[in-house]
Chains A and B, each alone.
Chain A
Amino acid sequence: MALAKRIIPCLDVDRGRVVKGVKFVEIRDAGDPVEIARRYDAEGADELTFLDITASSDDRETLVHVVEQVASEVFIPLTVGGGIRALDDVRRMLNAGADKVSINTAAIARPEFVREAAERFGNQCIVVAIDAKAVHQPAEPPRWEIFTHGGRRPTGIDAVEWARRMNAYGAGEILLTSMDRDGTKRGFDLDLTRAISEAVSIPVIASGGVGTLDHLADGILLGKADAVLAASIFHFAEYTIEQAKHHMRARGIEMRL
Protein backbone atom coordinates (compact mmCIF):
# COMPACT_ATOMS: atom_id res chain seq x y z
CA MET A 1 0.00 0.00 0.00
CA ALA A 2 1.68 3.20 -1.10
CA LEU A 3 1.44 6.39 -3.05
CA ALA A 4 1.26 5.69 -6.79
CA LYS A 5 3.64 7.23 -9.29
CA ARG A 6 1.76 9.36 -11.80
CA ILE A 7 1.47 9.47 -15.58
CA ILE A 8 0.56 12.90 -16.91
CA PRO A 9 -0.25 13.37 -20.60
CA CYS A 10 0.51 16.88 -21.82
CA LEU A 11 -1.65 18.67 -24.38
CA ASP A 12 -0.24 21.58 -26.33
CA VAL A 13 -3.04 24.06 -26.94
CA ASP A 14 -2.95 26.82 -29.56
CA ARG A 15 -5.90 29.21 -29.67
CA GLY A 16 -8.11 26.68 -27.92
CA ARG A 17 -7.19 23.72 -30.11
CA VAL A 18 -4.91 20.81 -29.33
CA VAL A 19 -2.04 20.74 -31.78
CA LYS A 20 0.44 17.99 -32.66
CA GLY A 21 -2.49 15.84 -33.79
CA VAL A 22 -4.06 13.01 -31.89
CA LYS A 23 -4.73 9.76 -33.66
CA PHE A 24 -7.25 8.10 -31.41
CA VAL A 25 -9.38 5.89 -33.58
CA GLU A 26 -12.72 6.76 -32.04
CA ILE A 27 -12.12 10.45 -31.74
CA ARG A 28 -14.02 12.55 -34.22
CA ASP A 29 -12.21 15.80 -33.68
CA ALA A 30 -8.51 15.38 -32.94
CA GLY A 31 -8.20 19.03 -31.96
CA ASP A 32 -10.94 19.21 -29.36
CA PRO A 33 -9.34 19.49 -25.91
CA VAL A 34 -12.48 18.35 -24.10
CA GLU A 35 -12.82 15.19 -26.15
CA ILE A 36 -9.14 14.35 -25.74
CA ALA A 37 -9.19 15.07 -22.01
CA ARG A 38 -12.19 12.77 -21.62
CA ARG A 39 -10.37 10.05 -23.51
CA TYR A 40 -7.20 10.30 -21.42
CA ASP A 41 -9.30 10.24 -18.26
CA ALA A 42 -11.01 7.05 -19.44
CA GLU A 43 -7.60 5.48 -20.13
CA GLY A 44 -6.54 6.20 -16.56
CA ALA A 45 -4.45 9.38 -16.78
CA ASP A 46 -3.56 10.49 -13.26
CA GLU A 47 -3.58 14.19 -14.13
CA LEU A 48 -3.71 16.34 -17.25
CA THR A 49 -1.45 19.22 -18.22
CA PHE A 50 -2.42 21.88 -20.72
CA LEU A 51 0.39 23.91 -22.16
CA ASP A 52 -0.73 27.08 -23.86
CA ILE A 53 1.53 27.75 -26.84
CA THR A 54 -0.65 30.55 -28.24
CA ALA A 55 1.60 33.30 -29.51
CA SER A 56 -0.69 36.27 -28.98
CA SER A 57 -1.93 37.16 -25.53
CA ASP A 58 -5.26 38.26 -27.08
CA ASP A 59 -6.01 34.62 -27.81
CA ARG A 60 -5.12 33.47 -24.31
CA GLU A 61 -8.66 33.93 -23.05
CA THR A 62 -9.69 30.92 -25.15
CA LEU A 63 -7.70 28.64 -22.86
CA VAL A 64 -9.75 29.81 -19.89
CA HIS A 65 -12.88 28.52 -21.63
CA VAL A 66 -11.16 25.26 -22.49
CA VAL A 67 -10.22 24.76 -18.83
CA GLU A 68 -13.78 25.58 -17.74
CA GLN A 69 -15.23 23.00 -20.10
CA VAL A 70 -12.74 20.28 -19.24
CA ALA A 71 -13.13 20.89 -15.49
CA SER A 72 -16.90 20.43 -15.70
CA GLU A 73 -16.55 16.98 -17.20
CA VAL A 74 -13.25 15.46 -16.19
CA PHE A 75 -12.71 14.92 -12.47
CA ILE A 76 -8.94 14.52 -12.17
CA PRO A 77 -6.35 17.22 -11.43
CA LEU A 78 -5.62 19.76 -14.17
CA THR A 79 -2.48 21.85 -14.56
CA VAL A 80 -2.23 24.82 -16.88
CA GLY A 81 1.03 26.34 -18.09
CA GLY A 82 2.17 28.91 -20.63
CA GLY A 83 1.84 32.64 -20.18
CA ILE A 84 1.34 32.63 -16.40
CA ARG A 85 3.03 35.93 -15.50
CA ALA A 86 1.00 37.61 -12.77
CA LEU A 87 -1.12 36.74 -9.75
CA ASP A 88 -4.14 37.60 -11.85
CA ASP A 89 -3.23 34.94 -14.42
CA VAL A 90 -3.01 32.38 -11.61
CA ARG A 91 -6.34 33.44 -10.18
CA ARG A 92 -8.08 33.31 -13.56
CA MET A 93 -6.88 29.76 -14.25
CA LEU A 94 -7.76 28.47 -10.78
CA ASN A 95 -11.21 30.04 -11.00
CA ALA A 96 -11.72 28.38 -14.37
CA GLY A 97 -11.14 25.01 -12.71
CA ALA A 98 -7.39 24.39 -12.91
CA ASP A 99 -5.89 22.81 -9.80
CA LYS A 100 -2.35 23.95 -10.46
CA VAL A 101 -0.56 26.42 -12.68
CA SER A 102 2.95 25.98 -13.96
CA ILE A 103 5.25 29.00 -13.93
CA ASN A 104 8.36 29.11 -16.06
CA THR A 105 9.78 32.31 -17.59
CA ALA A 106 8.05 34.60 -15.10
CA ALA A 107 9.87 32.86 -12.24
CA ILE A 108 13.23 33.53 -13.88
CA ALA A 109 12.33 37.15 -14.59
CA ARG A 110 11.22 37.65 -10.98
CA PRO A 111 11.68 34.74 -8.55
CA GLU A 112 9.60 36.53 -5.88
CA PHE A 113 6.56 35.90 -8.06
CA VAL A 114 6.70 32.23 -7.04
CA ARG A 115 6.76 33.15 -3.35
CA GLU A 116 3.85 35.57 -3.76
CA ALA A 117 1.77 33.08 -5.73
CA ALA A 118 2.44 30.28 -3.21
CA GLU A 119 1.50 32.53 -0.30
CA ARG A 120 -1.64 33.77 -1.95
CA PHE A 121 -2.97 30.51 -3.42
CA GLY A 122 -1.12 27.80 -1.47
CA ASN A 123 1.98 25.77 -2.34
CA GLN A 124 -0.15 22.89 -3.63
CA CYS A 125 -1.15 24.77 -6.77
CA ILE A 126 2.21 26.24 -7.77
CA VAL A 127 4.32 24.15 -10.14
CA VAL A 128 7.64 25.60 -11.25
CA ALA A 129 8.66 24.47 -14.73
CA ILE A 130 12.40 24.17 -15.31
CA ASP A 131 13.91 23.80 -18.79
CA ALA A 132 17.47 22.61 -18.36
CA LYS A 133 20.36 21.75 -20.66
CA ALA A 134 23.70 20.07 -19.93
CA VAL A 135 26.59 22.56 -20.09
CA HIS A 136 29.52 20.42 -18.89
CA GLN A 137 32.28 19.02 -21.08
CA PRO A 138 32.50 15.21 -21.43
CA ALA A 139 35.25 14.76 -18.80
CA GLU A 140 33.75 17.22 -16.28
CA PRO A 141 31.27 16.52 -13.50
CA PRO A 142 27.70 17.03 -14.77
CA ARG A 143 26.19 20.50 -14.65
CA TRP A 144 22.93 21.81 -16.08
CA GLU A 145 21.78 25.33 -16.75
CA ILE A 146 18.34 26.87 -17.12
CA PHE A 147 17.47 27.87 -20.69
CA THR A 148 14.54 29.93 -21.92
CA HIS A 149 12.90 30.52 -25.30
CA GLY A 150 12.57 26.85 -26.17
CA GLY A 151 16.12 26.05 -25.13
CA ARG A 152 17.78 28.78 -27.21
CA ARG A 153 18.64 31.34 -24.54
CA PRO A 154 20.99 30.49 -21.65
CA THR A 155 20.42 32.21 -18.31
CA GLY A 156 23.61 31.22 -16.49
CA ILE A 157 21.48 29.79 -13.65
CA ASP A 158 22.47 26.38 -12.30
CA ALA A 159 19.47 24.06 -12.55
CA VAL A 160 20.01 22.18 -9.27
CA GLU A 161 20.48 25.40 -7.28
CA TRP A 162 17.45 26.91 -8.96
CA ALA A 163 15.30 23.91 -8.07
CA ARG A 164 16.37 24.19 -4.40
CA ARG A 165 15.58 27.89 -4.44
CA MET A 166 12.13 27.38 -5.94
CA ASN A 167 11.48 24.68 -3.31
CA ALA A 168 12.41 27.23 -0.61
CA TYR A 169 10.17 29.87 -2.23
CA GLY A 170 7.13 27.67 -1.83
CA ALA A 171 6.77 25.74 -5.08
CA GLY A 172 4.67 22.62 -4.49
CA GLU A 173 6.14 20.63 -7.35
CA ILE A 174 8.75 20.85 -10.12
CA LEU A 175 8.15 20.06 -13.78
CA LEU A 176 11.59 19.30 -15.15
CA THR A 177 12.24 19.22 -18.91
CA SER A 178 15.54 18.27 -20.46
CA MET A 179 15.98 20.51 -23.49
CA ASP A 180 18.68 18.12 -24.74
CA ARG A 181 16.19 15.27 -24.87
CA ASP A 182 12.91 17.01 -25.66
CA GLY A 183 11.56 15.65 -28.94
CA THR A 184 14.39 13.12 -29.39
CA LYS A 185 12.60 9.96 -28.15
CA ARG A 186 15.90 8.88 -26.54
CA GLY A 187 14.50 8.87 -23.00
CA PHE A 188 14.71 11.30 -20.07
CA ASP A 189 18.02 12.79 -18.99
CA LEU A 190 18.16 10.49 -15.97
CA ASP A 191 21.22 12.09 -14.35
CA LEU A 192 19.55 15.47 -14.46
CA THR A 193 16.26 14.09 -13.14
CA ARG A 194 17.93 12.29 -10.25
CA ALA A 195 20.13 15.30 -9.38
CA ILE A 196 17.07 17.55 -9.11
CA SER A 197 14.84 15.03 -7.39
CA GLU A 198 17.44 14.35 -4.71
CA ALA A 199 18.08 18.06 -4.20
CA VAL A 200 14.49 18.99 -3.31
CA SER A 201 11.86 17.85 -0.81
CA ILE A 202 8.91 18.36 -3.20
CA PRO A 203 7.72 16.03 -5.98
CA VAL A 204 9.43 16.17 -9.38
CA ILE A 205 7.77 15.45 -12.74
CA ALA A 206 10.20 14.22 -15.40
CA SER A 207 9.66 15.43 -18.96
CA GLY A 208 11.38 15.47 -22.33
CA GLY A 209 12.48 12.59 -24.51
CA VAL A 210 10.05 9.73 -23.94
CA GLY A 211 9.99 7.28 -26.84
CA THR A 212 9.25 3.93 -25.17
CA LEU A 213 7.43 2.59 -22.14
CA ASP A 214 10.76 1.64 -20.58
CA HIS A 215 11.73 5.29 -20.68
CA LEU A 216 8.76 6.08 -18.44
CA ALA A 217 9.74 3.38 -15.95
CA ASP A 218 13.40 4.48 -16.03
CA GLY A 219 12.35 8.02 -15.15
CA ILE A 220 10.86 6.71 -11.91
CA LEU A 221 13.30 3.91 -11.04
CA LEU A 222 16.57 5.53 -12.11
CA GLY A 223 15.65 9.21 -12.31
CA LYS A 224 13.80 9.04 -8.95
CA ALA A 225 10.95 11.13 -10.38
CA ASP A 226 7.54 11.11 -8.69
CA ALA A 227 5.63 11.49 -11.95
CA VAL A 228 6.31 11.30 -15.68
CA LEU A 229 4.94 13.59 -18.35
CA ALA A 230 4.74 12.72 -22.02
CA ALA A 231 3.05 14.11 -25.08
CA SER A 232 3.77 12.44 -28.38
CA ILE A 233 3.78 8.75 -27.42
CA PHE A 234 0.21 9.14 -26.22
CA HIS A 235 -0.94 11.67 -28.83
CA PHE A 236 -0.02 9.48 -31.73
CA ALA A 237 -1.59 6.50 -30.00
CA GLU A 238 1.67 4.60 -30.08
CA TYR A 239 0.74 3.48 -26.60
CA THR A 240 -2.26 3.96 -24.39
CA ILE A 241 -1.89 5.20 -20.85
CA GLU A 242 -3.27 1.90 -19.67
CA GLN A 243 -0.49 0.01 -21.47
CA ALA A 244 2.07 2.35 -19.99
CA LYS A 245 0.72 1.74 -16.49
CA HIS A 246 0.74 -2.03 -16.85
CA HIS A 247 4.29 -1.90 -18.15
CA MET A 248 5.44 0.26 -15.26
CA ARG A 249 3.72 -1.94 -12.72
CA ALA A 250 5.43 -4.99 -14.25
CA ARG A 251 8.72 -3.25 -13.55
CA GLY A 252 7.78 -2.98 -9.89
CA ILE A 253 6.37 0.55 -9.77
CA GLU A 254 3.31 1.35 -7.67
CA MET A 255 0.60 2.51 -10.11
CA ARG A 256 -3.10 3.37 -9.98
CA LEU A 257 -4.82 0.80 -12.18
Chain B
Amino acid sequence: MVSIAIIDYGMGNLRSVAKALEHVAPRTRVLVTQNRRDILHADRVVFPGQGSIRDCMRELVRWDLVDVVREAALGKPFLGLCLGPQALLSFSEENGGIDGLDVLPGRVVWFGDLRDPASGERLKVPHMGWNQVHQLCDHPLWQGISQDSRFYFVHSYYLQPADSALAAGQTWYGFDFASAIARDNIFAVQFHPEKSAQAGLRLLANFTDWNP
Protein backbone atom coordinates (compact mmCIF):
# COMPACT_ATOMS: atom_id res chain seq x y z
CA MET B 1 0.00 0.00 0.00
CA VAL B 2 1.29 3.43 -0.95
CA SER B 3 1.95 5.65 2.04
CA ILE B 4 2.03 9.40 2.49
CA ALA B 5 3.68 10.90 5.56
CA ILE B 6 2.46 14.29 6.73
CA ILE B 7 5.27 15.69 8.86
CA ASP B 8 3.85 16.64 12.26
CA TYR B 9 6.21 18.90 14.18
CA GLY B 10 3.56 20.62 16.28
CA MET B 11 2.94 23.51 13.88
CA GLY B 12 -0.77 23.61 13.28
CA ASN B 13 -3.55 21.16 12.98
CA LEU B 14 -2.97 18.56 10.29
CA ARG B 15 -6.29 16.84 10.52
CA SER B 16 -7.70 18.73 7.53
CA VAL B 17 -4.69 17.90 5.39
CA ALA B 18 -4.98 14.21 6.31
CA LYS B 19 -8.75 14.14 5.72
CA ALA B 20 -8.40 15.79 2.32
CA LEU B 21 -5.71 13.30 1.24
CA GLU B 22 -7.80 10.36 2.46
CA HIS B 23 -10.73 11.81 0.56
CA VAL B 24 -8.87 11.93 -2.78
CA ALA B 25 -6.84 8.74 -2.29
CA PRO B 26 -8.90 6.33 -0.20
CA ARG B 27 -6.53 3.43 -0.86
CA THR B 28 -3.47 5.27 0.40
CA ARG B 29 -2.14 5.03 3.93
CA VAL B 30 -1.95 8.57 5.30
CA LEU B 31 0.28 8.99 8.36
CA VAL B 32 0.48 12.14 10.47
CA THR B 33 3.84 11.58 12.07
CA GLN B 34 7.01 12.96 13.64
CA ASN B 35 8.71 9.58 13.47
CA ARG B 36 11.95 9.82 11.45
CA ARG B 37 11.71 6.30 10.10
CA ASP B 38 8.07 6.65 9.03
CA ILE B 39 8.94 9.80 7.13
CA LEU B 40 12.01 8.32 5.44
CA HIS B 41 10.16 5.12 4.49
CA ALA B 42 7.02 6.84 3.17
CA ASP B 43 6.46 6.89 -0.58
CA ARG B 44 5.43 10.54 -0.51
CA VAL B 45 5.93 13.34 1.96
CA VAL B 46 3.83 16.38 2.82
CA PHE B 47 5.54 19.22 4.66
CA PRO B 48 2.89 21.57 6.10
CA GLY B 49 3.12 24.37 8.64
CA GLN B 50 1.28 27.20 10.30
CA GLY B 51 2.25 29.95 12.70
CA SER B 52 5.59 31.75 12.75
CA ILE B 53 8.81 30.71 11.01
CA ARG B 54 10.82 31.02 14.25
CA ASP B 55 8.61 28.46 16.00
CA CYS B 56 8.61 26.30 12.89
CA MET B 57 12.42 26.10 12.67
CA ARG B 58 12.73 25.65 16.45
CA GLU B 59 10.29 22.73 16.46
CA LEU B 60 12.02 21.06 13.50
CA VAL B 61 15.25 21.14 15.50
CA ARG B 62 13.54 20.02 18.70
CA TRP B 63 11.96 17.02 16.95
CA ASP B 64 15.30 16.28 15.26
CA LEU B 65 13.69 16.47 11.82
CA VAL B 66 15.88 18.94 9.94
CA ASP B 67 17.98 16.34 8.12
CA VAL B 68 14.92 14.14 7.56
CA VAL B 69 13.06 16.94 5.78
CA ARG B 70 16.15 17.72 3.70
CA GLU B 71 16.58 14.08 2.76
CA ALA B 72 12.92 13.59 1.84
CA ALA B 73 13.10 16.73 -0.30
CA LEU B 74 16.00 15.22 -2.22
CA GLY B 75 14.26 12.18 -3.61
CA LYS B 76 10.58 11.42 -3.21
CA PRO B 77 7.47 13.32 -4.26
CA PHE B 78 7.45 16.17 -1.79
CA LEU B 79 4.61 18.66 -1.26
CA GLY B 80 5.09 21.81 0.81
CA LEU B 81 2.03 23.65 2.13
CA CYS B 82 1.65 27.21 3.45
CA LEU B 83 4.52 27.73 5.92
CA GLY B 84 6.26 24.61 4.55
CA PRO B 85 7.52 26.30 1.36
CA GLN B 86 8.66 29.31 3.41
CA ALA B 87 10.78 27.01 5.57
CA LEU B 88 12.30 25.41 2.45
CA LEU B 89 13.83 28.71 1.30
CA SER B 90 17.15 30.13 2.52
CA PHE B 91 15.98 32.99 4.71
CA SER B 92 12.83 34.65 6.09
CA GLU B 93 12.39 38.27 7.17
CA GLU B 94 9.90 37.15 9.83
CA ASN B 95 10.78 37.35 13.55
CA GLY B 96 13.72 39.67 12.87
CA GLY B 97 15.32 37.31 10.33
CA ILE B 98 15.44 33.51 10.48
CA ASP B 99 17.51 31.08 8.42
CA GLY B 100 15.44 28.46 6.61
CA LEU B 101 16.34 24.97 5.43
CA ASP B 102 17.89 26.32 2.22
CA VAL B 103 16.55 23.44 0.16
CA LEU B 104 15.59 25.99 -2.49
CA PRO B 105 17.42 29.33 -2.87
CA GLY B 106 15.31 32.35 -2.03
CA ARG B 107 13.87 34.63 0.63
CA VAL B 108 10.57 35.10 2.41
CA VAL B 109 9.44 38.72 2.51
CA TRP B 110 6.75 40.64 4.44
CA PHE B 111 3.86 42.10 2.44
CA GLY B 112 4.17 45.35 4.40
CA ASP B 113 1.84 48.28 3.86
CA LEU B 114 0.27 47.44 0.55
CA ARG B 115 -1.81 49.65 -1.71
CA ASP B 116 -3.66 48.75 -4.83
CA PRO B 117 -1.64 50.59 -7.50
CA ALA B 118 -4.79 51.37 -9.50
CA SER B 119 -7.24 52.51 -6.80
CA GLY B 120 -4.77 53.51 -4.08
CA GLU B 121 -6.83 51.53 -1.56
CA ARG B 122 -5.13 49.70 1.24
CA LEU B 123 -4.73 45.94 0.74
CA LYS B 124 -5.30 44.08 3.98
CA VAL B 125 -2.63 41.86 5.51
CA PRO B 126 -2.89 38.90 6.06
CA HIS B 127 -3.68 38.22 2.42
CA MET B 128 -6.75 36.17 3.30
CA GLY B 129 -9.28 34.52 1.02
CA TRP B 130 -9.65 33.09 -2.47
CA ASN B 131 -7.20 34.38 -5.03
CA GLN B 132 -6.24 33.26 -8.51
CA VAL B 133 -3.17 31.22 -9.29
CA HIS B 134 -1.71 31.76 -12.72
CA GLN B 135 0.07 28.59 -13.80
CA LEU B 136 3.48 29.47 -15.24
CA CYS B 137 4.34 26.03 -16.56
CA ASP B 138 2.88 22.68 -17.46
CA HIS B 139 3.25 20.59 -14.37
CA PRO B 140 1.62 17.27 -13.46
CA LEU B 141 0.21 18.90 -10.31
CA TRP B 142 -1.72 21.46 -12.38
CA GLN B 143 -3.33 18.75 -14.50
CA GLY B 144 -7.11 19.19 -14.80
CA ILE B 145 -7.05 22.53 -12.95
CA SER B 146 -8.17 25.49 -15.07
CA GLN B 147 -5.74 28.31 -15.64
CA ASP B 148 -6.23 31.09 -13.02
CA SER B 149 -8.31 28.91 -10.67
CA ARG B 150 -8.88 30.28 -7.18
CA PHE B 151 -7.30 28.80 -4.07
CA TYR B 152 -7.61 29.75 -0.40
CA PHE B 153 -4.73 31.82 1.01
CA VAL B 154 -3.91 33.14 4.44
CA HIS B 155 -0.42 34.58 4.94
CA SER B 156 1.47 37.81 5.65
CA TYR B 157 4.82 36.83 4.11
CA TYR B 158 5.43 35.75 0.53
CA LEU B 159 7.96 33.59 -1.33
CA GLN B 160 10.69 35.25 -3.35
CA PRO B 161 12.70 32.46 -5.03
CA ALA B 162 16.21 33.49 -6.11
CA ASP B 163 15.64 31.98 -9.53
CA SER B 164 12.38 33.04 -11.14
CA ALA B 165 12.35 29.74 -13.04
CA LEU B 166 11.40 28.06 -9.73
CA ALA B 167 7.99 29.76 -9.79
CA ALA B 168 5.31 27.34 -11.03
CA GLY B 169 2.43 29.69 -10.26
CA GLN B 170 1.94 33.34 -9.47
CA THR B 171 -0.72 35.41 -7.77
CA TRP B 172 -1.46 39.11 -7.79
CA TYR B 173 -1.87 41.02 -4.55
CA GLY B 174 -0.74 44.53 -5.34
CA PHE B 175 2.03 42.86 -7.36
CA ASP B 176 2.76 39.36 -8.64
CA PHE B 177 4.32 36.94 -6.17
CA ALA B 178 5.25 33.25 -6.48
CA SER B 179 2.34 31.28 -5.04
CA ALA B 180 3.72 27.90 -6.14
CA ILE B 181 7.32 26.83 -6.56
CA ALA B 182 8.63 23.62 -8.09
CA ARG B 183 11.88 21.87 -8.80
CA ASP B 184 12.38 18.20 -9.66
CA ASN B 185 10.47 16.20 -7.01
CA ILE B 186 9.42 19.26 -4.98
CA PHE B 187 6.16 21.14 -5.38
CA ALA B 188 5.30 23.74 -2.77
CA VAL B 189 2.35 26.07 -2.53
CA GLN B 190 1.65 29.14 -0.41
CA PHE B 191 -2.10 28.45 -0.40
CA HIS B 192 -4.10 25.71 1.36
CA PRO B 193 -5.23 23.06 -1.14
CA GLU B 194 -6.93 21.18 1.70
CA LYS B 195 -9.24 24.20 2.11
CA SER B 196 -9.62 25.09 -1.56
CA ALA B 197 -12.66 23.00 -2.49
CA GLN B 198 -12.53 21.20 -5.88
CA ALA B 199 -9.38 22.86 -7.26
CA GLY B 200 -7.50 22.05 -4.07
CA LEU B 201 -8.66 18.45 -3.96
CA ARG B 202 -7.62 18.02 -7.57
CA LEU B 203 -4.12 19.30 -6.79
CA LEU B 204 -3.85 16.84 -3.88
CA ALA B 205 -5.11 14.01 -6.09
CA ASN B 206 -2.49 14.95 -8.69
CA PHE B 207 0.16 14.80 -5.99
CA THR B 208 -0.87 11.28 -4.99
CA ASP B 209 -0.46 10.21 -8.65
CA TRP B 210 2.74 12.13 -9.34
CA ASN B 211 5.88 10.21 -10.25
CA PRO B 212 8.65 12.72 -10.87
Contact surface of A with B, Cβ cutoff 8 Å: 1-6, 41, 46, 71-73, 75-77, 94-97, 99, 121-125, 172-173, 198, 201-204, 226-227, 256
Contact = CB atoms under 8 A, between A and B. Distances in A.
Given A1-B134, A123-B156, A124-B154, A201 B129 contact: no
A198 B128 CA distance: 17
Contacts of A1: 132, 134, 148, 172
Contacts of B156: 123
Given A2-B131, A123-B126, A226-B129, 6 more contacts: A6-B129, A71-B16, A73-B23, A75-B16, A99-B195, A202-B125
A2 B19 CA distance: 29
Interface of B: 12-13, 15-16, 19-20, 23, 50-52, 113, 122-132, 134, 148, 150, 152-156, 172-173, 192, 194-197, 200-201
Contacts of A4: 129-131, 150
**Chain A binding surface, main DSSP class:** loop
Contacts of A203: 124, 126, 128-129
A122 B129 contact: no
A95 B131 contact: no
B130 A6 contact: yes
Contact of B20 (A2, A75, A94, A96): A75
| Nearest 5 A/B pairs, CB to CB | A122-B51, A256-B130, A124-B154, A4-B130, A3-B131
A97 B15 contact: yes
Given A1-B148, A41-B197, A95 B15 contact: yes
A202 B111 CA distance: 12
Contacts of A41: 197
